[in-house]
């Protein structure tokens, strides 16, 4: 299944699996963006990402950790 910027919950789960010991609140948005782009199933245009999108992914990840 391809992942797109709008799939914040699915991206968060994939990042949790790939980086299990990372606190999502400690990640810089530049690193978070790079990690999302590095996901095997990610298929969206990197230009469609902004701070709001990354914030949504970070919050989804945080809610999964809690």
Question: What is the per-residue pLDDT across 55-66, written as a single tens digit (0 to 9) for each?
Answer: 999 999 999 987
What pLDDT does 26 receive?
Answer: 95
- Domain with residue 37: its CATH number is 1.10.10.600
Residue 16 belongs to domain spanning: 8-65
What pLDDT does 6 receive?
Answer: 96
Residue 24 forms part of a structural domain = yes
What pLDDT does 55 receive?
Answer: 97
Residue 1 forms part of a structural domain = no
Residue 3 forms part of a structural domain = no
pTM: 0.94
List of long-range contacts for 1-7, beta carbons under 8 Å, 24+ apart: 1/41, 2/41, 2/42, 2/43, 3/39, 3/41, 3/42, 3/43, 3/44, 4/42, 4/43, 4/44, 5/36, 5/44, 5/48, 5/49, 5/53
Question: What is the per-residue pLDDT across 2-56, written as a single tens digit (0 to 9) for each?
Answer: 999 999 999 999 999 999 999 999 999 999 999 999 999 999 999 999 999 999 9
In total, how many domains does the chain have? 1
């Amino acid at each position: 299944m391809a992942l797109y910027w709008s799939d914040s919950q699915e991206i968060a789960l994939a990042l949790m699996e790939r980086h299990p010991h990372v606190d999502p609140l400690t990640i810089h948005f530049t690193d978070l963006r790079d990690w999302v782009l590095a996901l095997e199933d990610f298929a969206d245009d990197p230009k469609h990402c902004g701070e709001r999108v990354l914030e949504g992914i970070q919050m989804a990840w945080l809610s999964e950790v809690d």
